[in-house]
Amino acid sequence: MTITGATRLFGILGDPVAVVRSPAWWNALFARAGRDAVFLPFQVSAADLPRAWAGLTAIGNLDGLVLTMPHKQAVLPLLDALGPAARLVGAANTVRRLPDGSWEGDMFDGEGFVAGLRAQGIAPEGRRVRQVGCGGAGRAIAFALARAGVAALALEDAAPGRAAALAAEVVAAFPGVAMAGVPDLLVNATPTGLAPGDGMVFDASLLAPRVAVADVIPNPEVTPLVAAARAAGCTVATGRDMFEGQARLAAAYFGIAA
């Protein structure tokens, strides 16, 4: 890849970013598509996001950004327009520069997660889901699962009141979804599994061949939960499946065929 004065810039903002797989995937896509573009990681702390955003906005050849934790909700006040999923979820994971220089954001984590499930043969329709994690990605996943037709969605989160608040929003948007039931799909939408030595958010006794398991952690792809679920005979969708699903949607948002 040759970077020229005409190269267009894309990137991912997060903290941490050392573990993300995005740059390799996106730069390979640009090469296949013959695009004079490069995708870069930007390490930006939560406290520095407003200051960093002002600088990024001043870069005239920066066309789009992907947001990862902890910025998916904090970025909303910095954007000029929101797509439908971002408005519903209250978070954005992809932003693009419009022709007038303003920024528009939308959220593809949820639909990307569902695409990852389907890629592994896990149909969400009629499933009874137990999901741990109701932050930016977790919110998107909950709404997308409800939209996809799950029968029940039990939500949990370490932050007091967050799961109950999200459950109320999901039921308001999708009244047919129950909020209880014996689960046959377990979803980890937390960072647990990202750091060495992490355990699992679910008790191993819940793992059985009739239960499907999905994890949002892309790197390492085989988290303790994924390893235990495979050993128990569960059908598994990994964070890489989710990443590839949402990345394809984000590429289309940027006008690039993946």
- Active site (catalytic) residues: 72
Preceding amide of 191 cis, omega within 30:
no
Nearest to 112 by CA among 249, 227, 255, 252: 249
Distance CA 16, CA 45 (A): 8
Residue type, 176: G
Answer yes or no: are the C-beta atoms of 49 and 75 closer than 8 Å. Answer: yes
Distance CA 176, CA 174 (A): 6
Handedness of CA 219, 251, 122, 144 (dihedral sign): positive
Report DSSP state, residue 17: -
The pair of three-digit structure tokens given for residue 238, joined into one six-digit string: 């990994």
Strand, coil or helix: 235: strand
Q: In what order do the strands lie in the sheet with 185-188?
A: 152-156, 128-132, 185-188, 212-215, 235-237
Nearest to 218 by CA among 195, 242, 202: 242
Distance CA 71, CA 93 (A): 8
- Alpha-carbon separation of residue 172 from 91, 157, 167 (angstroms): 18, 19, 9
